[in-house]
Amino acid sequence: MTISESGGPPKPAPRPGPPRPGPRPGPTAAAAPAAPTVPPTADPHRFGRVDPDGTVWLITASGERQIGSWQAGDTEAAYAHFGRRYDDLHTEVALMEHRLSSGTGDARKIKAAAGTLAEGLATASILGDVDALAARLAAIVETADSHATEERQRRDEHRAAQTARKEALAVEAEEIAASSTQWKASGDRLREILDEWRTITGLDRKTDDALWKRYSSARETFNRRRGSHFAELDRERAGVRQAKEALCERAEALADSTDWGPTGATFRDLLVQWKAAGRTAKDVDDALWKRFKGAQDKFFKARNAVNAERDAEFAGNGTAKEALLAQAEAIDVTDVDAARAALRAIGDKWDAIGKAPRERDADLERRLRNIEKKVRDAASTGWTDPEAKARADQFRERADQFERQAEKAEAAGRAKDAEQARASAAQWRQWAETAVEALGKKR
């Protein structure tokens, strides 16, 4: 095959395609998201001719020019060959238009490429509507600047939006770093910010670096604060552990004590100290509490056993006092001396019995006092010394006061105070009885 062509602009090798006479659709551009549909090109017979000697002419509005010499076959093959070359150029222009209008290409580069193609049209070896192609290339060059401005504006808007997103994330990270004490939630949020940060692109390098420095600094500040917090927490927990270990040792030393009242009060104080000490690591705290409570339970279990035995004894005492009250209530007060003697004998037995259960003791004592009053009233009938009678009543009142003090001291675990109060009560009661006897002799 021999083809002679006139000079033209540099271009890629012709794209292979099925032989055809007439137009064919242009190829799809790889750089564009969706290639334009290229309309059929003009019939090359309208825009050129082939002489019998193979000379090929292009017809334009400005006249004819020779574009080559065809010696490889009949004239239709020449039309097809130069027409395909026109089609390739036509498709390239269509792709430029599409990329420019859709904003998928760089308007400045498209403008430069269109200018280069336009300059080469004057020497291009093609058959087709070169005038229309030149007009389209001129339109691309003419509108490329406005598209470049719009493209720049879009880039600027995108960059501003992306910058604003990273600015907001940096501010949020700085706020977390400055004051948050929600360590887990805030740490998770900082990681989420980092994941989102990596998806934000399009910023200029200087701005991006500055914002990254802010975020990175905020994250480091938060990590330092969190590390300091947990280090301090570890120190506090170590102190709590030592304090609770000391409380455990004190509790264990008291576990076998039989000084029930004071030791019970000490255990209550130790429990208050335990609650005020704070908490250490859960497993350590649980183990220490088990030690402390074990010692506490040991003491109170022993005390409860003793109290149960004592309560059983007191219950028997209460029954015995009930029997004495029955005897006292049966005393005949018409014989005052005999009534006094019987009541004194009952009183001696009463004191020898000991304490009754606390919930019954007050009622039993009240009933005995009523019987004593009944005997006194019978003995005082006809007395003539009001001052002596008042003195005897005063002595009895003092004795009752000391009895009540003894009961309170006993309830509080102050055994010594209770013993002293009972001794005082007995003394005052003896004086009251002496006064009563003196009054009886004056009848």
Averaged over 368-380, what is the pLDDT?
A: 80
pLDDT of 96: 92
Query: Can you tell me the distance from the alpha carbon of 97 to that of 103, in angstroms, rounded to the nearest whole number?
Result: 10
Of 19-23, 37-41, 169-173, 397-401, the range with the highest mean pLDDT is 169-173
Query: Can you tell me the distance from the alpha carbon of 413 to that of 417, in angstroms, rounded to the nearest whole number?
Result: 9
Q: Give the contacts of 94 (CB within 8 A, at least 6 positions apart).
A: 26, 36, 38
Please say whether the dihedral angle defined by the alpha carbons of residues 113, 118, 121 and 126, taken in this order, is positive or negative.
positive
331 close to 375: Cβ distance less than 8 angstroms: yes
Both tokens of residue 64? 């004819």
pLDDT of 10: 37
362 close to 408: Cβ distance less than 8 angstroms: no
101 close to 146: Cβ distance less than 8 angstroms: no
pLDDT of 383: 46
pLDDT at 330 over 60: yes
Average pLDDT, the chain: 82
Percent of the chain with pLDDT strictly greater than 70 = 87
Residues in the chain, how many?
443
Averaged over 36-46, what is the pLDDT?
A: 65
Query: Can you tell me the distance from the alpha carbon of 209 to that of 222, in angstroms, rounded to the nearest whole number?
Result: 20
Q: Hey, how many other C-beta atoms are within 10 angstroms of the C-beta on 120?
A: 16
Split at pLDDT 50, 70, 90, the class of 393 is confident
Pairing of strands 3-5, 63-70: antiparallel
pLDDT at 247 over 60: yes
Averaged over 39-67, what is the pLDDT?
A: 86
Query: Can you tell me the distance from the alpha carbon of 363 to that of 293, in angstroms, rounded to the nearest whole number?
Result: 38
The pTM of this model reads 0.43
Q: Give the contacts of 295 (CB within 8 A, at least 6 positions apart).
A: 248, 251, 252, 254, 255
pLDDT of 16: 35
250 close to 270: Cβ distance less than 8 angstroms: yes
47 close to 127: Cβ distance less than 8 angstroms: yes
pLDDT at 30 over 70: no
Give residue-wise pLDDT tens across range 204-242.
999 999 999 999 999 999 999 999 998 988 888 899 988
Averaged over 23-44, what is the pLDDT?
A: 48
Both tokens of residue 333? 């007060």
